[in-house]
Amino acid sequence: MKSCTGVILHILLLLLTTVLLSTSGNADDPCCQFPCHHRGVCLSSSEDLYECDCTRTGYGGPTCKEPEFLTRLQNWLRPSPEQLHRLLTGLPWLWDIVNRIRPLRNFLMHAVLMKRAGLVEDPPAYNSDFTYKAWPVVANKSYYGLALPPVPLNCPTPMGTKGPKRLPDASLLAERLLLRKKFIPNPRGSNMLFAFFAQHFTHQFFHTDMQRGPGFTKALGHGVDLNHIYGDSLERQQELRLLQHGKLKFQMVDGEEFPPSVLEARVDMAYPDGIPPASRLAVGHPLYGYIPILLVWSTLWLREHNRVCDILRARHSAWDDEQLFQTARLVLTAETLKIVIEDYVQHLSGYNFRLLFDPTLLFSEPFQYTNRIYAEFNHLYHWHGLMPDHLELPGGRVPLTSFALNTTVVYKNGFRLILESLISQRAGKIGGGHTVPQALLHIQERVIEHGRSLRLQPFNQYRQWLGLKQHQSFMALTGDKGLADELESFYEDVDAVELFVGLLVEKTPGKSMMFGETMIEMGAPFSLKGLMSNPLCSPGYWKPSTFGGSVGFDIVQTASLHSLICRNLPGPCPYVSFEVPGFEEDEEQSEVNVGKEL
């Protein structure tokens, strides 16, 4: 009898513990299911209670699913992203006309900017430590922003409620889904000048503070401030400056200007072992020594800075070194914005509509001139598929595995010849799966792991955040049976696919796109908001006096990839483009051939 009571007591105790545990902190968070639609905010209050805040989403109801009248109308009238993309990348004859009518071009560019920039919240809503609104998210700029709150901690699976209980090994994913089997030429005809421009330019605002973790940045300017040219501290900047006529220090080699060595500008530069100090060039970003080809871009911008100083000094003979330096920096910053929109984004968009950099288009709008770089933007911008297996340089072919070349490569074989080789070598494709060279695969693995430590929401949740339809199957996501099967074997459910993996394996729309729809729809808002919210684009700054009067404003307004290179290269101007020479004709020719074969 005594032992029977003991057993009953024991069972009761067990039951009580189970109930207590299930109602304690270990219970599933109802927000794990991502129940709130259309950017509604999920707020959980207990294990089965949550509310969706639908304020200003245009939707209502318990899960923000019911469109308000105006939203319904807009949804009915608005073309889908696919339709818009087809329109913008097709009908060249129509765009030829539109591009020539400036008021029409202004109107369309204004629409593009408003649609894209409006998607990015500033200040951001979350960061890697705060999954709810909190003052440090607003005030502490050493965090990247986060667009969607991280997956709650108490969820049945790492991706919420879907997919496996343990995510697949990142190195296995990278090997099976991302690893390049065969080099795929970039379908837009992008060249290596484009690839290195991307890398050189973006490292000014993607500078993760690895000691603190993937949610933190060292680039506190959160945008285009040219710290990769001028250094990210006053001490570094002072060392790089000549302190005469506003110029940056330089050295002359065979009559051409190059960055100084670290013997002349004593700044920390990370270089592979064995490179003597005299061959270590000193530039704004300390890591560019590891990829000396980036110094081609550093050299061009250095020449441009010193050239602009000469022009400003000729006009303003009374200006001291400081004013010349500061004004030239603003001129180069604005030139960068223009080149990035009109040459770089233009190229990657594949649009026949000609994008326009004109800050005045936003002057009648309540536009904010501040920006925050988001962890998701940093995440998506790992475009290692651009890298070929080897680089063709005038001195010979260099395999990607021995990329940390001696700096002398920048000028040893003639700067012009190096530029010409970069322009004529085709880069690789970024998206569509199996595009990453073996030598860089470990970086992609790390990105997947960072996504996990940031607990980024699944790919399909980001599609919903962007107003895109969620992919209903692995096949719909990849458009390729082999990839779809592999993906399914890893994730079980299409709603569990991780953001970075989804971005890199998504099918590419049309034959001339280098990545999928989500990369475009997610990259464009972060980019256009980041560029147009630069303080130089604000009504107070966007005027000739900011840039040293009409002479400087003129340099800004006529800036282009072509002018940047041709004004800073002695001798005749070569073919300059982000596209390999003859690309369009080659494409037309291959279409004719395919037509014949069919």
User: Which residues of this protein are in contact with ligand ACD, per CB under 6 A?
Assistant: 112, 116, 205, 223-224, 340, 344-345, 348-349, 519-520, 523-524, 527-528, 530-531
Q: Which is nearer to ligand ACD, 119 or 295 (CB)?
A: 119
Name the β-bridge partners of 579. Answer: 190
Name the β-bridge partners of 547. Answer: none
User: How many angstroms separate the CA atoms of 436 and 271, rounded?
Assistant: 24
Q: What is the token pair recorded at 9?
A: 């007591």
Q: Which is nearer to ligand ACD, 207 or 280 (CB)?
A: 207
Give least dist CB 471 to ligand ACD, A.
19
CB 148: neighbour CB atoms within 10 A?
20
Q: Which is nearer to ligand ACD, 319 or 374 (CB)?
A: 374
Strand-pair category, 396-399 with 390-393: antiparallel
Q: Which is nearer to ligand ACD, 393 or 531 (CB)?
A: 531
* Active-site annotation, residues: 203, 381
Q: What is the token pair recorded at 140?
A: 């502490």
Q: Which is nearer to ligand ACD, 52 or 503 (CB)?
A: 503
User: How many angstroms separate the CA atoms of 518 and 185, rounded?
Assistant: 21
Name the β-bridge partners of 160. Answer: 157
Give least dist CB 345 to ligand ACD, A.
5
Give least dist CB 538 to ligand ACD, A.
15
User: How many angstroms separate the CA atoms of 456 and 461, rounded?
Assistant: 10
CB 107 within 8 A of CB 114: no
Q: Which 3 state secondary structure label does DSSP give 561?
A: helix
Give least dist CB 554 to ligand ACD, A.
24
User: How many angstroms separate the CA atoms of 480 and 504, rounded?
Assistant: 13
- Exposure string (b/e) for 319-335, b if CB count within 10 Å is 16 or more? bebeebbebbbbbbbbb
Please name the residue that has the structure tokens 């709130």. 36
Q: Which is nearer to ligand ACD, 515 or 547 (CB)?
A: 515
Give least dist CB 368 to ligand ACD, A.
14
Give least dist CB 446 to ligand ACD, A.
20
Q: Which is nearer to ligand ACD, 67 or 223 (CB)?
A: 223
| Inter-helix orientation angle 294-315/415-424, to 10° | 120
User: How many angstroms separate the CA atoms of 545 and 532, rounded?
Assistant: 19
Give long-range contacts, CB 8 A cutoff, 24+ apart: 164-168: 164/490, 164/491, 164/492, 164/496, 167/452, 167/498, 168/490, 168/491
For 28, 144, 457, 459, the CA distances from 463, given in Å and listed in that order, are 24, 20, 10, 6
CB 556 within 8 A of CB 547: yes
Q: Which is nearer to ligand ACD, 283 or 345 (CB)?
A: 345
Give least dist CB 113 to ligand ACD, A.
8
| Inter-helix orientation angle 102-117/517-532, to 10° | 100
How many Cα atoms within 13 Å fall on the side-chain side of residue 4? 1
CB 567 within 8 A of CB 555: no
